[in-house]
Amino acid sequence: MTGDPTGDRTPLDLRSATRHVVVMGVSGSGKTTVAHGIAAATNLLFAEADDFHSRANVEKMRAGIPLTDEDRWPWLQDLAAWMAERAAEGRSTVIACSALRRVYRDVLASGPPTIDFVHLDGHVDVIRDRLASRSGHYMPASLLDSQVATLEPLQPDESGIELDVALPPEELVAQAVRGLNLPEAQPATR
């Protein structure tokens, strides 16, 4: 990068060298599993977007009440800010986040210098079966239909890939790492 008129330069311009990935899709699509796998394969710093929700948002979802856009904006802005802060530190990130609508992804993209999306998509029956067998999560299976109705696929001008949720998690991770050309973690040396 030549000429930074703002004078804001991170050493070695690490801001542009970082990678930021959002693994997106409806609840039960495997976002957390795949994002964890990407983090392990690449040393990207993992975050679970659900951990950024306010207590009020969690209680609404636990009660089976879909969130409104007004509920989501501060949450999405916090996620964008977290990625931007990590980019300023020279850290690459991967987040598991529903990111169902284009406007939500635009808010996320406003944080880091660049962002890629991994959209986990597939037949709703596969996802419904996964939700039925999942325990301990505050997001009830009853909200799946509202999420499917809200979902807007990646647009041609958004950087990312779509993967089929029917594939095994390790294959989804491998396809994401290859498809986004992410740097693989180097084994520790003694």
Total domain count for the chain?
1
Domain-located, residue 19: no
Reading the block at residue 20, the tokens are 């930021």
CA-nearest of 109, 75, 98 to 148 is 98
Domain-located, residue 5: no
pLDDT tens-digit profile of 47-71? 999 999 999 998 988 888 878 999 9
Domain-located, residue 44: yes
Burial 122-137 (b: 16+ CB within 10 A, else e): bebeebeebbeeeeee
The pLDDT value recorded for residue 15 is: 43
Choice between 34 and 185, residue whose per-residue pLDDT is larger: 34
CA angle 168, 108, 117 (to 5 degrees): 30
Domain-located, residue 23: no
pLDDT at 156 over 60: yes
Choice between 7 and 72, residue whose per-residue pLDDT is larger: 72
Residues 6+ apart with CB under 8 A from 100: 24, 26, 147, 150, 151, 152
Q: Any idea what DSSP says for residue 49?
A: G
What SS3 state is found at 118? strand
pLDDT tens-digit profile of 121-144? 988 888 877 776 655 544 555 667
Query: Mapped to the 3 state alphabet, what secondary structure does 165-180 carry?
Result: CCCCHHHHHHHHHHHC
Question: What CATH number is associated with residue 60?
Answer: 3.40.50.300
- Residue 69: CB atoms within 10 A of its CB come to 10
Domain that holds residue 54: 30-179
